Structure 1
Amino acid sequence: MSRELFEAARAAMTKCHAPYSKFPVGAAILADDGNIYAGANIEVLSFPEGWCAETTAIGHMVMAGAKRIREVAVIAEKLELCPPCGGCRQRLAEFANADALIHLCDADGIRKTLRMDELLPHGFKTEVIG
């Protein structure tokens, strides 16, 4: 499944809209329903406004009715390993358990895997989502 997740993130990256930063990013989520939801970063003229690849993938997951993140793969065209930004770390933590896996990828595949609690050790806690 990890290879499928990587492939989905890499494919999503090719669909990004990054005319200002020229920094394509793709992300893919394996959700609790067993499906993969992918997203790319999307920039707008009022850059740096826009949204990250992880945010897009989370939106697809939520809109499909899935509730929890099991694993995430993130890839950037111009960076060997691209961890999620601070805002996306908290967004991911909103939908992931502490042991959810975050895969950092390069062009060839997964290169480093962290647990959610390693990526964001002191994130805000919520009682809304179990």
Structure 2
Amino acid sequence: MYIGSHIKPIICEMAEKQGHSVMFTPPYHSDLQPIELIWAIIKGEVGKQYDVNTNFNDVLLRLNQPFNNLSNNVVKGCIQKTDSILNNMYVIQYEYTTMYNEIINDEINTTFESSNDEASAENIDTD
């Protein structure tokens, strides 16, 4: 616990010294990781070449070609896709939070008004 909350990875310190901010994605959300989309593309290309005679060296050689042929536009598209998913999540979270706060405020106001009505009723002199 202490290490995770008090010690930064060296790569984060290096990035911050260069003026960059490091942001981490939530765990178990591979859909927010552009590298996962790229890896899916690479695996698809390599997987198409698989046959019963494929060995580890074949796979290693076959990995190089799709990585070398990966265009900047594909990488950019993967980043834009994950950004789009993240933005949609943000909008949903914002709308949920806004709706939740409205419900809570309505409950507080209703409770406050109800207690004021009861207090007013108690102060009425029936004599």
Which bracket does the TM-score occupy, shorter chain normalised?
under 0.3
> What is the TM-score of this pair, normalised by structure 2?
0.21
More strand as a share of residues: 1
The structure having more radius of gyration, on CA atoms, is 2
> What is the TM-score of this pair, normalised by structure 1?
0.21
